[in-house]
Each structure stands twice: as C-alpha cells, then as structure tokens.
Amino acid sequence: MSYNTQMDAARQGIVTGQMEAVARKEKIDVTRLMDLVARGRVVIPANKNHSSLDPCGIGEGMKTKINVNLGVSKDCCNIETELEKVRYALQLQADAIMDLSCYGKTEEFRRRLVDMSHAAIGTVPVYDAVGFYEKELEKITVDELLGVVEKHAQDGVDFMTIHAGINRATAATFKKNNRLTNIVSRGGALLFSWMELNDRENPFYEYYDDLLNICSRYDVTISLGDACRPGSLKDATDAAQVHELIVLGELTRRAWERGVQVMIEGPGHMPLNEIAANMIMEKKLCHGAPFYVLGPLVTDIAPGYDHITSAIGGAIAAASGADFLCYVTPAEHLRLPTLEDMKEGIIASRIAAHAADIAKGIAGARQWDDDMSDARRCLDWPRMFELAIDPEKARQYRAESQPEHEDTCTMCGKMCAVRNMNKVLQGSDSSC
C-alpha cells in the first residue's frame, strides 16, 4: 500500500518508521499513536525530503514540545552565526526549529539548516516572498506565493506557518473592532496589507486547495497561523481573534479531508485568567487539533524578561491543553537574540513544558523530579548536576561559592536541614 502523508498511512493502518520512532520516545503503544494521527489529534511533521530528521509527535498524550525561532534579518544577516545558534539549540534539546529569515536569498541557510538538523524544521513562506522575487509586496502574484511554498517543501521543510484564516471576513471583523496593538503577526500583517493593496481575498484562503496539494505531495504539516493573535493583554480574546479561530477550524477539516496534518497557532499576549478558557475554546473550535502557542505572555511590562512572562503563560497553557510552546527570549520586542538569549529562552520554555507535563500526567515526567529530590536528600551533588535541566549553570553556581563542609552549600552551611536530618536518622536511613 502507498500513502502520501503520515495521516494517510495511519488511516490505512500502516505503521510508518516515523510512528515507530515517536511511539518509542513517548512510551505509547504504536496502535494508539496511529489512531491519534489518523484522527488529527497528533501530528508528526516529517517532510519526505528531510533525511536527517529524528521525528517527534505533537499533540494529545505526547510530551509538550518546544520550538526555537532563528533566522537572518536585514540588520543581522550572518548565516554562520545563525547556524551556530542551530547547533546550540539542538544541544539544548529543542524539538523544532523555525527559520524566520526575512531578508535576501534565504535558500542557502534553509538548505543547510534542513541538512544539519535532526529536529523538525518550520518556516513562514510569506516572509521569504519579498526577497525571493525582489518585488514589492503588492506586486507578488498568487502563483508566486504558492511557488515559494513549494520551494520550501522541496527543500525539506517539515511544517509551515500559513496565515490562511485572515480572510476578508476576518479582516472586516478586525477593522470594525478597534485594537490597542492592531495586527502584530508579521505574516498576518503582510497578508492583510496584500489584501488591502490589491482589494482581493487572501490567496492562501482562496487557493487553499492548491496549498493542500503541495502539502500532501511532500507531507508538510500546515501550522495554521493566527494573524490576529493579540499583541497586548487588552486585545486578548477579542472578536478578531475568535473569528479567525472559527475559520481555522473550518480549514482544519478541509485539510484532514485531504490527509494533510494540521496544527493551530495561538496567542500571543493574554491575562492569566483567560488562558485556560482559550485552550478549551481552541480544542473545541478546531476539533482537537494540536495547539501551538507563542507564550502566551502574561504581562506587557517586562521587556528584557519576556522569557519569564512567556514561561508562566506557557506552563498554564500547556497544562490546560496546549501541545507545543514557541520559546520567547529575553530579547523579545527588543532585538535579534544572541546565543545566551537563546539559551535562556530554551531553558525557560523547557521548564514550562515539563511543569505542564507533570500536571497532565505524561508518562515519566514526575520521575525526573523524584530522582532529583532523592539526590538532594542524599546530598549527592554529582547526581544533582546530572539531573539538572541546565547542568552547566548548576555546576557554575556551586563552583563560585564553596562551603566549609562539602556536604552543604553556602546558604545554610552546618545548619543545613537535609544534612542534620540525615545525621539524626542515620541509623534508619543508610542509603545516604
């Protein structure tokens, strides 16, 4: 039997190599995984041309995954620097990497990225269109936009953000309902501008079937972009955001009819008390499709610390049903992130994802914490460093402040509660 996509295979009862790999990593029965993929509850982004891929599953019952954004811009156009970030992101266990390059000829960077990365690769093709064709946005044709999508698919990109939900009706809703921060999605703003300048429908909405043909041919997962995601707390859960989400639910069904895998992208900036309800709403309106969120950032006042505001929101979102977290760095809203910014963002996102996995009861998540607690009880410093989410930083902090007694730290010294309890209970606890 033959199949075009992972969803096609699952519906035919075919267990692919990618499904077997994901089932092993997730400790889930492969038959159960196949059912989830067939129903669209789990996606396995796996372009047929991405030969170096170590596939991951995103969705129901899977560990919460994290994505890292990279790429060149006009002001920071150094491919080698970005590739260094790629290597470091993979070392720090990123599950996916998105190339958000928006300047010049991006093909070299994209191809090298796909070749070197075992993580899933995503892109936003509309970012590339202006540089690829060297034309003003309004002059780019529908065929040219679809041509960029096909080019990215040929190059091995596993998932693509496509802002197909901002159709003319969504745009009208946006224009009728004043926002504090308007449209903050770069891709959404580009397509809104194209529509306004040309007085035409969004080409990715109008020619959605042509888009699905490309995705089916290469097994590209569509990540349906949220052009109207809120860029401030004030704009969260407004009419434009909800209208677009309804459209994305309709587009999800159309993709599934063609066997194309789908994720849904979500907010954005959002108050703490609205996050859980938004996760429920997305799952309901988009039929249980995996949900991919940027943050959400729970306050707007912390430039330089938005990896923290994002991790707070991300943990709540994932515990409430989100499946995929897009990392946010301390440089968000300020500049292109450095290597250190990237590390801070990845670690913060991984902490949020792991905290959510504990809350969701994901197999094996809690054991990591129990092992760390046992190492602390035994004052086993090497084991604590081994288990730390960032062993390098833990070792550095320990080395910078040496205690008088090796089995303590410089916070409590001989008054260490753990040390003293071990001594008092030594007769009944010989494991330490």
363 is in an annotated binding site: no
- To 10 degrees, what angle do helices 107-116 and 79-91 make? 20
Helical H segments across 3-78, by residue range: 6-11, 17-26, 30-38
Two structure tokens written together for 196:
């306004």
Could you tell me which residues are beta bridge partners of residue 325? 66, 293
Q: Are 159 and 222 in contact (CB under 8 A)?
A: yes
Residue whose structure tokens are 């509309």: 126
Give the whole-angstrom CA distance, residue 214 versus residue 143.
12
Place of tokens 């991300």: 314
Q: Does the annotation list 265 as a binding residue?
A: yes
69 known ligand binder: yes
> Is the sign of the CA dihedral 134, 138, 139, 145 positive or negative?
positive
> Is 102 annotated among the ligand-binding residues?
no
226 is in an annotated binding site: yes
Peptide bond into 296 cis (omega under 30): yes
Phi-psi region of 78 (alpha: psi -120 to 50; beta: other; left: phi over 0): beta
Q: For residue 243, say whether it is annotated as part of any ligand binding site.
A: no
Residues 326 and 293: beta-carbon distance below 8 Å: yes
2 assigned binding-site residue: no
Handedness of CA 329, 102, 92, 338 (dihedral sign): negative
Residue 163 marked ligand-binding: yes
- What is the Cα–Cα distance from 107 to 321, expressed in whole angstroms? 35
Q: Using the 8-state DSSP alphabet, how is residue 64 labeled?
A: P
Helix, strand, or coil (residue 180): coil
Residue 65 to residue 46: CA distance in whole angstroms:
15
Q: Is 50 annotated as a binding residue?
A: no
98 is in an annotated binding site: yes
Gap between the Cα atoms of 213 and 204, Å rounded: 12
The token pair at 394 is 């833990």
182 is in an annotated binding site: no
Q: What are phi and psi of 136, to 5 degrees?
A: -65, 150
Collapsing DSSP to helix, strand or coil, 322 comes out as coil
Coil vs helix vs strand at 270: coil
Instruction: Compute the residue count for the chain.
Output: 432
State yes or no: 127 annotated in a binding site: yes
**Per-residue exposure over 150-169, b if at least 16 CB sit within 10 Å of its own CB, e if not:** bbbbebbbbbbbbbbbbbee
Residue 269 counted as an annotated binding residue: yes
Short-list 264, 127, 137, CA closest to 195: 137
Annotated binding-site members for [4Fe-4S] cluster: 409, 412, 416
Annotated binding-site members for Zn(2+): 269, 333
Annotated binding-site members: 69, 98, 127, 163, 185-187, 226-229, 265, 269, 292, 333, 409, 412, 416
Annotated binding-site members for substrate: 69, 98, 127, 163, 185-187, 226-229, 265, 292
